[in-house]
Amino acid sequence: MTLEEQIEKERERNYTLAIEIEKLRAQMGVTVPISDADSLFHQSKAFENLKRMKKESDERLAALKSEMQDAARSDAGLTQTQSESVSVHDKKAEPVQETVDRAITTKPPRGPKPKMEYHKAIAAIVNPYGDDWQTESNLDKIAAKLDRKNAKTPPPLTWTTRNRPAHSWGRAVQNFRELVIKKISYSLKMAARVPGN
């Protein structure tokens, strides 16, 4: 049985005991004020047994929570001195939720990794033209350089499936100039993220 299952079982038992206590209160003095009812219950062996069982259940629940936190710490490779916060939210009749903030380990970013070599190669060809790279004559020259076999900058595959397909940068400039400008602008932006560019 996992720690989560043990905690859930203890929570159910704890909740059942609390319900039993309330039932006994209702049976022994429905109209009796709480203070008088408590004195009647303390005289009852059943009430004492239920209180003892509830206390034991609370202690087991606390021990299981502590064990779960220790397991989470050891799974994360954290020690007591490293910055971390472990919080356990505990409410009646709700499952125990545990949140462990792991400051040391971070999740990798979602999605595919950007093709930084591709973007850097495009930027290396476009950057010598400066801010005038979008003019018609410069865009044709850039497309010719991007189409070279050793340029390592093939046009995007999605361009081959368009209404007017383009299998080269030069053809793409002829068919959809604005899309080529958008693609090159994106590559320049991505290449600017890399230190040293």
Domain carrying residue 64? 3-102
Tell whether 137 and 161 lie within a shared domain.
Answer: yes
* DSSP structure class, residue 101: E
Residue 146 pLDDT > 80, yes or no? yes
pLDDT of residue 77: 62
Tell whether 54 and 80 lie within a shared domain.
Answer: yes
Tell whether 68 and 94 lie within a shared domain.
Answer: yes
Quote the pTM value.
Answer: 0.45
Q: Tell me: the pLDDT tens digits for 60-112? A: 878 877 877 777 777 666 554 443 444 444 444 444 444 444 444 567 778 87
Tell whether 37 and 92 lie within a shared domain.
Answer: yes
Domain count, the chain: 2
Mean pLDDT of the region 159-173: 90
Mean pLDDT of the region 36-62: 67
Which of 102, 137, 170 is at the close of a domain? Answer: 102
Residue 40 pLDDT > 60, yes or no? no
User: How many whole angstroms separate alpha carbon 108 and alpha carbon 86?
Assistant: 22
Three-class DSSP labels, 6-31:
HHHHHHHHHHHHHHHHHHHHHHHCCC
- Tell which residue, 135, 116, 139, has the closest CA to residue 196: 116
Tell me the H-state helices in the chain: 3-28, 34-43, 45-76, 116-126, 136-146, 169-175, 177-193
The answer to whether residue 73 is domain-embedded is yes
